[in-house]
Amino acid sequence: MASYQFLEFELSEEDFTLSRRGQRIALEPKALSVLTLLVSRAGHLVDKQELLESVWPNTFVEENTLTRTIGILRRELGDNSRDSKIIETVPTRGYRFIAPVAMLPGSPPAPPVLTPSPPAHSEAQTAVVPKQPARRRGWGLVAGLCALVVGIFAAIFLLSGGTRRKAFEHNVVEQRITSNSPEAPVDSAVVSPDGRLVAYSDPVGKTLYLRVIATGETRRWDLPKDFFAKPNSWFPDGTHLLVMRWEGPPPVPSLWKLSLLGGSPQKLADKAVDGVVSPDGTRIAFGTFAPSWGNELWVMGSDGSNPHKIADASQRADPSIQSGIVASAWSPNGKRIACIERYGFAGLTPAAGLSTLWTRDAEGGHLQVILKDAWLGWKAISWAPDGRILFASRADPASEGDNEELRSIRVSESTGKATEEPQPVTHGAGNIGGISVTSDGKRLVLWRTSYHEQAFISDFDAKTRKWTTPRRLTLDANGNQATAWLPDSKTVVFVSNRNGTWTLFKQAIDETTADVLVEGRGLYLPRLSADGRHVIYGSQPDAAHPNTPISLMALPVAGGPPHLIVRDVGIGNYQCASRPSTLCIFDKPQGNDLVFFSFDPERGVTGELMRSSGGRRDWSLSPDGKTLVDCPDGHSFRFYSVKNGVAKKEETVTLKDWLRFSGDWTSDGKGLLTASITSAGTPVILEVNRAGEASVVLEGPPHIAFEYVIHSPDGRHGIIEAAVPGDDNAWMINNF
């Protein structure tokens, strides 16, 4: 059995271990098998199929299982998929280990590697075929290199590692705490003040767990039946936990206090989200649920007393731009609160949005903006005892990928202003969904989430009006957002960031591979024109800035280059009716109004349809083009009749027992399809009629979240978009 050395790591096939500086790294057996195969073939491409057949023999597994395993390896090795120095992705083909490797003395010589010749031709794409990235020159497997040479290569790598360098120099490594599968993802995790315990939950078991870090022992928190809650924050005594729970119908979030010593849960606040306890345990900061998630920041006593608002979310003058306070943290002395505020622009672009990190006095007062950018993560924040604010940041700001690294910035508790530039702490695969730090500041726990939007196909039974169990459209584990059918009702058009930027694809529902339609950056929301001759899509390469014009483009279905329909600032949703109607609509803000315009894919804007107040919101145009429905809040639908180029309000209906997450017409125009959840957290698809009566037409597994349904023109199929977990687990960092 061979042993290998690369960078600061040693890999032994004999005892099947990976170690760094003599310290063993705990890896799942399958991940070690993948790494061993890649290292033994260093410098050479290893095909995806070979990896699947070698590591998972005689077992059917989806390709995204391999993708998640590679992500785990990159995290443990300190690699980055967008700027890889260790494991290179060769798009559509496989992976190549590109770090310098040495076989340790005493190992048998490496077998010869046979590299298959590339195919003589590749399958033609529909319109624009993406350029393949230049292949890096791989390092061959060099037997007998001494440790000195390896050390030189490692030093070169560290010196060129950019943000990665600090993590290696200070030995900051993320250590896995939980190993939940994608079918039972960890959906929240917080470390106790003394660093001994991690409280976490998963939506499948609907249970709150306690993990003893030192031993790995896990036990359920003894709670009343049907009491499922997500941990938000520990109280400083280490025996009480603040949790968020959904109650209903309709499902509404609330904050509760639990005790390790037993006793009944204590409700602290209704319609409250994302609570965090102050360092002295006397106060709780939290966001509001109504009328929208986190549009206000409140503070109350630790027993729920004296709740009062200290901040509004909307810091922008443009009322059409939605924003929300999505994460908050107390300063170590408890006198200030830091928040992440998230702004949405077009609202439908995959990469759209701008996040701001700001602080303010816990009793209100002037707001201090620390950072503002599109690369700033928006799900997690913590204020460490040493004065550093910890936050997430996109690992590669130039990429439209989802990986985030942990960064820090030192902030004065008295003024709330930054006193140094942001510094890297560590990096890994996936988004950072939560950050918690012990009271002595020596241990940090991250909750990493790898949820991606995925497109599924479901079949519709017109007699029962029920939908079949969804099946995946694509096996790619990156983001895939499908919003259009071609006229044949057998082909789906979608955007995906699988190649690093949001690109336009098409794929038949009985195929497993997709064809590129249009390359680019910031492409989003494909729609079908009324006559079925064009795919309409948006292009916003700089989605982080609201004043950047958006281009609405039309791509001929029969082939040919796309052409510009209209270019303007603030274009939001757009949609077309179906034949015989010719109506197409888009919206954009003007002052305090949201204005709806009609347009033609060939002639551009043709007129103004209507104006309404209240800011940006979801809406949908009926297939016959006679009715427009918008969604003013999380429970209602508002209908407008459309006639002779004018829209007039007709009626508003309210869902009594459900939350509304979306709203799209059925292909026959008889009802609306919306995603929702039960009070137990189960995702469902509802069909809602014009009277507001809702029926469940599809129920999903608890670990995913339905987002919307797009009915096919022939009414036989539907695109069901859902957020699907990957490697969603808790990770720990010591002495950061």
List pLDDT tens digits, range 615-637.
778 899 999 999 999 988 888 89
The domain boundary residue, chosen from 417, 450, 483: 450
Whether residues 298 and 250 fall in one domain: yes
CATH assignment at residue 352: 2.130.10.10
Q: Distance between CA atoms of 580 and 574, rounded to whole angstroms?
A: 18
- Asked if residue 649 belongs to a domain, the reply is yes
Residue 616 has a pLDDT of 74
Is the CB of residue 290 less than 8 Å from the CB of residue 308?
Answer: no
**Is there a cis peptide before residue 182, judged by omega within 30 degrees of 0?**
no
Query: What pLDDT, on a 0 to 100 scale, did the predictor assign at position 127?
Result: 39
Residues 436 and 538 reside in one and the same domain: no
**Lowest-pLDDT range of 40-44, 139-143, 219-223, 685-689:** 139-143
The structure tokens listed for 207 are 């249970």
Cis peptide before 561 (omega within 30 of 0): no
Verify that 219 and 321 share a domain, yes or no: yes
Res. 84: pLDDT tops 60: yes
Give the integer Cα–Cα distance in Å for 565 and 605. 8
Of 405, 431, 450, which residue sits at a domain end? 450
| The model's pTM | 0.72
The predicted pLDDT at position 728 comes to 92
pLDDT category of residue 342 using cuts at 50, 70 and 90 = confident
Specify the number of domains making up the chain.
3
- The CATH number given to whatever domain includes residue 19 is 1.10.10.10
Give the type of residue at 382. S
**In terms of domains, do 255 and 392 share one?**
yes
Average pLDDT of the segment spanning 101-125: 50
Residue 77: predicted pLDDT: 87
Task: Answer yes or no: is 491 within a domain.
Answer: yes
Alpha carbon distance 257, 301 (integer Å): 12
Q: Is residue 648 part of a domain?
A: yes
Phi, psi of 138 (to 5 degrees): -80, 155
Do 464 and 436 have their domain in common? no
pLDDT digits over 121-165, tens only?
333 333 333 333 332 223 232 233 233 233 323 332 333 333 333
29-40 and 63-77 are packed helices; what angle lies between their axes, rounded to 10 degrees?
80
**729 lies in a domain?**
no
Are residues 9 and 73 both part of a single domain? yes
Confidence check: pLDDT of 304 > 80: yes
b (16+ CB within 10 A) / e for 25-34: bebeebbbbb
The answer to whether residues 180 and 53 belong to one domain is no
Q: Same domain for 492 and 351?
A: no
CB 729 within 8 A of CB 179: yes
Query: H or E segment at 339?
Result: strand 336-344
- 144, amino acid identity: G
The better pLDDT of the pair 152, 376 is held by: 376
pLDDT of residue 531: 94
Q: What does the DSSP assignment read for 656-678?
A: SS------EE-TTSS-EEEEEE-
Q: Are residues 434 and 480 in the same domain?
A: no
| Domain-embedded: residue 620 | yes
300 with 272, same domain: the answer is yes
**Residue owning tokens 């590749």:** 122
**Residue 413 is encoded by which pair of tokens?**
């508790």
Residue 387 lies in a domain: yes
Of 414, 432, 450, the residue that ends a domain is 450
pLDDT in tens, 245-294: 988 788 889 999 999 988 899 999 999 999 999 999 999 999 988 656 66
Residue 320 has pLDDT above 60, yes or no: no
Check which CATH number belongs to the domain holding 649 and give it. 2.120.10.30
Cis omega (within 30 of 0) on the bond before 291? yes
The token pair at 503 is 């690109």
Length of the chain: 736
**Three-state SS string across 52-120, please?**
HHHHCCCCCCCHHHHHHHHHHHHHHHCCCCCCCCCEEEECCCEEEECCCEEECCCCCCCCCCCCCCCCC
676 phi and psi angles, rounded to 5 deg: -155, -175
Q: How far apart are CA 360 and CA 372, in angstroms?
A: 15
Q: Is position 118 within any domain? A: no
User: Residue 203: helix, strand or coil by DSSP?
Assistant: coil
For residue 412, report the phi and psi dihedrals to the nearest 5 degrees.
-70, 130
Domain that holds residue 507: 452-724
Tell whether 513 and 611 lie within a shared domain. Answer: yes
Please report whether residue 166 resides in a domain.
Answer: no
Question: Is a pLDDT exceeding 60 seen at residue 435?
Answer: yes
Q: Quick one: 445 and 486 in the same domain?
A: no
